[in-house]
Amino acid sequence: MPGRPANRMRRFWTRSIRRQLMLGIALVHAVLMSIFVLDLVERQRQFLGEQSIAQASGLAKTLAANSASWVLSNDLEGLSEVLQSQASYPGLRYAMVVRPHGRVVAHTDREKAGLYLQDELSRSLLDGPALPKLLLADRKLVDTAHPILANGELVGWARVGISQSAITTGLWEITRVGILYTLVAILVGSVFAFLMARGLTQGLQRLGAVADGIREGRRDMRADSARQDEIGQLGKNLNQMLDALAQRERDLSAAQADVQHLATRDTLTQLPNRLLLMDRLGQAILTAQREHHALALLVIDLDRFKTINDSLGHHIGDQLIQQVAGRLSNCIGAGDTLARLGGDEFVVVRSEIAQPGEAGHLAQRINEELSQPCWIEGHELNSSCSIGISCYPDDGNDAQTLLRNADTAMYHAKEGGRGDFEFFSSDMNRRAVQRLKLENELRNALLRDEFRLLYQPQVDMRSGQVVGAESLIRWHHPEMGVVAPTDFIPVAEETGLIREIGAWVLREACRQQLRWCAAGLPPLRIAVNLSVRQVEPGLVDLVSRVLSDTGLDARYLDLEITESLLMHNLNENIAVLRRVSACGAQISMDDFGTGYSSLSSLKLFPVQTLKIDRSFVRDLVDDQDDANIVRSIVAMAHSLGLRIIAEGVESEAQLGYLRELGCDEYQGYLFSRPMAAEAFHALFADRAKGAV
C-alpha cells in the first residue's frame, strides 16, 4: 500500500519528543552545513576558475609579446626556447605558436611542431578576428589565445592550455573538510539536542508520571513547579487544576453524602426513612433466616395527631414528632431499628426475639412511654398510639409482607381504641381485602346509581304533625346487598369520596322535597347530614348551586353537622357555616351531648337546632342522670333560642317525658322507621285523610 511507508515514518517521527528534537536539530545542522559547504565549494570553484583564466590569458599575452620577433624572423629555435622557458609553469599542459593558416610553428611538445590544427575549436580561432580569445574553460582545461601582431598585421597566434586538475583536487579537499565539519556540527548539535530534549522531556515525563498516579488513584500527587520555563508553568497549572479537582471531589463527596443522607433519612427526626428501613429489614430477615431465629416489626401510629396539627399548627406537630422520636429511641435496644415512614407513623424492627410475647412487651413499654404528656410551647399534649405487630417467619418472609401485615394490625388496633396494640392474624387480611373491595366498589356506586335515600319523619311534639324529614343514605349493591352506612361512610371519608356522595345526597334530597310539594304535600323541612370532610370553602358554592338548580326555598334546607367540627379547624369551619347560613339554609347540631361542644363554642356556630343524641333518650325514663342531662340541654337550647329535636324515640313513655321537658320535635321508631320517598308520601297522605 502506498500509504504504509508514510504511516510508518509518521509513527517513527512522532513516537518521542526527544527523538523529534534530536532528529530535527541534526537534520537542520546537516542541511545548513551542506548548503554552506556546497556554496563555499562553488564560490571557490568560480574564484579559482576566474584566476586560472586570468593566468592563462596573461601567459598567452606574454608568449605573444616574446615570440613576435622570432615569428617575423622565422627563427624556430628561438621560438622553441621561448616555449620551453614557459613549460615549467604550474599546470601548463601545452603552449604553442600557430601561423594564421593553422600551422604549428612551435609547441612545448616538439613532436607536434609543423602540424596543422584542424579541430573545430582551432578553426574558430583561425577564422575569427585578431583579438584575445578564451577558447575553452571547463573543469579540466582553460585554453586561451592571443594574437601575435607585427606592424599591426596578424603574423600568428600564441596559444596556451592550463590544466584544471589542481583546482579540482583542491575543491575536493575543501569538500572533504566541509563534510567533516558538517559531521562534527551534526554531532555537536545532536549532543546539544539530546541535553535540551532530556531537560524538556524529563519535565514532561514527571508531569506524565503525576497524571498516571492521579489516574491510579493517588490524588495527593503534585507536579514539580520549581522550573521557571513553560514546563514549570504547565506544572503549576496542572497543580492548580488538581487542587481544583480535589476540592470539587471533596465537595461532590460531601454533596453525595448529603444526598445519601437525605435519601435514607427523615429530615425532621433524622431517623431512617422508608428506603433505609426496607434495606435494614431485608438484612435482618436474611440474618434471621441464616441464624434460624424470629424477628418482630412494629408499626406505630399516633392517635389524634391530625387534631393537634390542625388546631395548634404544624410547627407544634413537628416538635411533637421530634419528641416522640426521642422517646421511642429510649425504648429500643442497640440492635433494633427505629424509622419514620412519614406523618405520624413510625416503625420499630426488633431484629431478634425468642417468642412473640417479647414484641408485646415492647409495644406495652412504648404505649406507656408515649402516654406521658408532652409540653410544647406551653401546651400540654397527650398523645397515645396504636401499634400493629407482625413477626417473621409466621406473618411473612419478606419485608413488604411484614410491613403490610403490621400496618393492617395497626389499623385494627386503632379501631379497637386508642393506646392499644394488636398482633397480626390472617383474619385481618381477609377483612382488609374486603375493605379494599368495598372501597373499589364504592368508587363506582355513583356511576351505577346504587345509592338510595330513605327519609325519617320529624314530628312536632304539640301538634303531632310531620314538619320535616331527615334524609338517610343506603347503598344497594348488586352482590353485597344493602350495605350499612356504618360500613361504607368511614371508607368514603378516608378516601375523600364523601364529597361526591354528599353532593349527590344534597341534590337528591332537595329534588325529593320539591317532588313531594308537586304531589300535594305541604312544604317540609329536609335535613341532610354533612361530614367533617364536606365543611370546606367549596360547600358554600355547592349549596348555592343546588338551591339554584333545584329551585328549593333555602329555609326548608336543614344541614346537620356533628360536634367533631369543633376539633378541626374551628375558625375556618365557623366561617364556612356562617356563609352557608347567609344563603338561607338552617344549621343543626346532630348527636348533641356526646362530643366536645361547649357553650362558648356553641355560641360561635350559626346553629338553629340541637338534636339530642339517642343515647340520652334510650334510658331517659329510668335513669335520672340522663333525664337531668336532657332537661339541661332543653333549658340551655331554649335560653339560646334554639329548637330541640330528640332522636331515637321508641316508646310512648319517652315521648311523654320529652313533651313534659319541653322538647320541640322528635323522630324515631315510635312514629316511623326510615322509609323510601314513595312510602313517606303514602304515610303523609294517609295521615292527612285520617285527620279529615
Distance of alpha carbon 524 from alpha carbon 553, whole angstroms? 11
DSSP annotation string for 265-286: B-TTT--B-HHHHHHHHHHHHH
| Same domain, residue pair 507 and 363 | no
Strand partners, 603: none
Using pLDDT thresholds of 50, 70 and 90, give the confidence band for residue 336.
very high
Indicate if 646 and 502 belong to the same structural domain. Answer: yes
Number of helical H runs and strand E runs in the chain = 21, 21
Which of the residue ranges 1-5, 154-158, 307-311, 469-473 has the most confident prediction, judged by mean pLDDT?
469-473
Do 156 and 43 share a domain, yes or no?
A: yes
User: Residue 604: what pLDDT?
Assistant: 76
Q: What is the pLDDT of residue 600?
A: 59
Of the listed ranges 10-19, 200-209, 472-481, 618-627, the one predicted with least confidence: 10-19
322 and 456 in a single domain? The answer is no
In the predicted structure, residue 547 carries a pLDDT above the cut 80: yes
- Whether 459 is covered by a domain: the verdict is yes
Shared-domain flag, residues 291 and 382: yes
| Same domain? 405 vs 454 | no
Residue with more model confidence, 381 or 586? 586
pLDDT at residue 301, rounded to an integer: 92
Bigger pLDDT: 681 vs 28: 681
> Phi and psi (nearest 5°) for 576?
-65, -45
452 is a domain residue:
yes
Angstrom distance (rounded) from CA 552 to CA 183? 121
Per-residue model confidence (pLDDT) at position 615: 87
CA atoms 577, 580, 581, 587: torsion sign: negative
pTM of structure: 0.51
- We report the CATH number of the domain holding residue 467 as 3.20.20.450
**29 lies in some domain:** yes
* Same-domain pairing of 528 and 655: yes
Report the range of poorest mean pLDDT among 165-169, 275-279, 284-288, 334-338: 165-169
Q: Which domain holds residue 594?
A: 446-691
C-alpha distances out from residue 72 to 113, 332, 470, Å? 17, 150, 174
End-to-end CA distance of the chain: 125
Instruction: Say whether both 411 and 483 belong to one domain.
Output: no
Percentage with pLDDT > 90 across the chain: 33
Cell of 532: 367533617
End of a domain among 389, 424, 459? 424
Separation of CA 159 from chain center: 103
Is 592 or 551 the better-scoring residue by pLDDT?
551
Over the chain, what is the mean pLDDT?
84
Contact partners, residue 25, CB within 8 Å, separation at least 6: 189, 190, 192, 193
What is the average per-residue pLDDT within 591-606? Answer: 67
Residue 632 or residue 602, greater confidence? 632
Q: In this structure, is residue 627 part of a structural domain? A: yes
As a whole number of angstroms, the distance between CA 234 and CA 526 comes to: 91
The candidate with the shortest Cα–Cα distance to 521, out of 587, 451, 455, 472, is: 455
Task: Name the band, by pLDDT with cuts 50, 70 and 90, for residue 691.
Answer: very low
Residue 681: count of CB within 10 angstroms of its CB = 18
Residue 395 inside a domain? The answer is: yes
List the CATH number of the domain containing 52: 3.30.450.20
| Statement to judge: residues 461 and 590 lie in one domain | yes
**One domain for residues 391 and 517:** no
Tell me how far apart the alpha carbons of residues 575 and 579 are, in angstroms, rounded to a whole number.
6
Q: Which residues pair with 301 in a beta bridge?
A: 345, 386
- Please tell me the predicted confidence (pLDDT) of residue 235: 66
Q: What is the CATH number of the domain that holds 282?
A: 3.30.70.270
How many independent structural domains does the chain possess?
Answer: 3
Within-domain flag for 203: no
Cβ atoms within 10 A of the Cβ of 234, count?
16
Query: Exposed/middle/buried for 409, CB within 10 Å: 0-12, 13-18, 19+?
Result: buried
Grid look-up 400496618 returns 407
Structure-model confidence comparison of residues 192 and 274, the more confident one = 274
Same domain, 497 and 416: no
Tell me if 383 is assigned to some domain.
Answer: yes
Return the pLDDT at 11. 62
Integer angstrom CA distances of residue 378 from 62, 307, 649: 142, 17, 45
Per residue in 160-191, is it b (16+ CB within 10 Å) or e — as a string?
bbbbbeebeeebeeeeeebeeebeebbeebbe
609-667 pLDDT per residue, tens = 999 888 889 988 888 888 888 898 899 889 889 999 999 999 999 999 999 999 999 99
In whole angstroms, give the CA distance from residue 192 to residue 182: 15
Partner residues linked to 455 by β-bridges: 471, 675
- Average pLDDT rounded to a whole number, residues 470-490: 90
Least confident of 86-95, 297-306, 392-401: 86-95
- Per the model's pLDDT, the better-predicted residue between 592 and 635 turns out to be 635
| Distance (Å, whole) CA 493 – CA 628 | 35
pLDDT digit string, tens, across residues 406-425: 998 998 888 776 678 889 88
Would the pLDDT of 219 be above 70?
no
CB 536 within 8 A of CB 565: no
Cβ count near 107 (within 10 Å): 20
- Choosing from 169, 194, 226, the residue where a domain stops is 169
Question: Averaged over 140-160, what is the pLDDT?
Answer: 87
Assigned C-alpha cell, 251:
465537595
Query: Between residues 370 and 436, which one has the greater pLDDT?
Result: 370
Q: Which amino acid is at 589?
A: M
Tell me whether strands 557-562 and 525-529 are parallel, antiparallel or unpaired. Answer: parallel
Q: Is residue 263 part of a domain?
A: no
d(CA 632, CA 475): 37
Note whether 631 and 675 are same-domain residues: yes
Domain boundary among 391, 424, 457: 424
CA distance 649 to 683: 18
